[in-house]
Chains A and B, each alone.
Chain A
Amino acid sequence: MTELRDEIKETIDREPVVAFVKGTHEQAYCGNSERAMQALRSVGVAFAAVDVLPDPAIRQELTALSSWPTIPQVFVRGELIGGADIVQELAANGELEAALNEKLGPDWRNGGEERTIPLSAGGASFRLAPPG
């Protein structure tokens, strides 16, 4: 396991709800990432976003862990829920709230603020790259 993969795994295990997206919670750079985050917002759950764009290795290591080929990827309590299509469908039919109740308990609506968390190992290849 690489250091980056370890950090991604720790993030998935630590955060109650985490969305790996292109962009941040404030600014998505992909329509699917935006759809997934809007679906989470629609049920009122606070989530942590992780931007995969700073380093292609983030996406590679994430997919190695999840065996899910596309971005976004939404995890609840360490378990992959799905990408944008699934999160949107589950939010619309009420199953997302049911899953949050089941996995996080009844207090998930009080889960704090939506935010984007940086990966310390992510972006390393950029920092190490010689100035262009």
Chain B
Amino acid sequence: MSASIEHLLREAFPDARELDVVDRTGGGDHFHVTVVSPRFNELALVDQHRLVYDALAAPLGDGTIHELRITTRGES
């Protein structure tokens, strides 16, 4: 599951300088994703996280992702 989440994030953030997906529990449904992208520059954290939620709407919507922690940063 980590690989498909990473794939979705790569598609959404092709310019990501850093992209990491951690399966927090090993159970394949609790994840911590980190995305560093210039796309986040000038965006409030709430809007940065919205972009991540948008990218992962499918696995969030069907319950594949039970819990998601998000770390985002812009980069100039």
Q: Spell out A's residues near B (CB within 8 Å).
A: 32, 67-70, 80-86, 89-90
CB proximity of B53 to chain A, nearest CB, Å? 5
- Closest residue of chain A to B45 (Cβ to Cβ) is A86
- Contact between A90 and B60, CB atoms less than 8 A apart: no
Contact check, B60 vs A82: say whether CB atoms are below 8 A apart.
no
Check: B70 CB closer than 8 A to any chain A CB: yes
Cα of A90 to Cα of B67 in the assembled complex, Å? 20
Interface residues of B, count at CB 8 A: 13
Interface code B63-76, partner A: CB below 8 Å = 1, 0 otherwise?
00001111100000
- Inter-chain CA distance A86–B61, complex, in Å, is 21
Interface of B is mostly: helix
What is the count of residue pairs linking A and B with beta-carbon distances less than 8 angstroms? 30
Whether the pair A90, B68 counts as a contact (CB closer than 8 A) is no
Chain A contact residues: over half helix, strand or loop, or mixed?
Answer: mixed
Nearest chain A CB to B24's CB is how many angstroms away?
Answer: 11
Q: Is B46 in the interface zone, CB < 8 Å from A?
A: yes
A87's nearest neighbour on chain B, judged by CB, is B45
B49 within 8 A of A: yes
In the complex where A68-B53, A69-B53 touch, is A81 in contact with B46 (Cβ < 8 A)?
yes
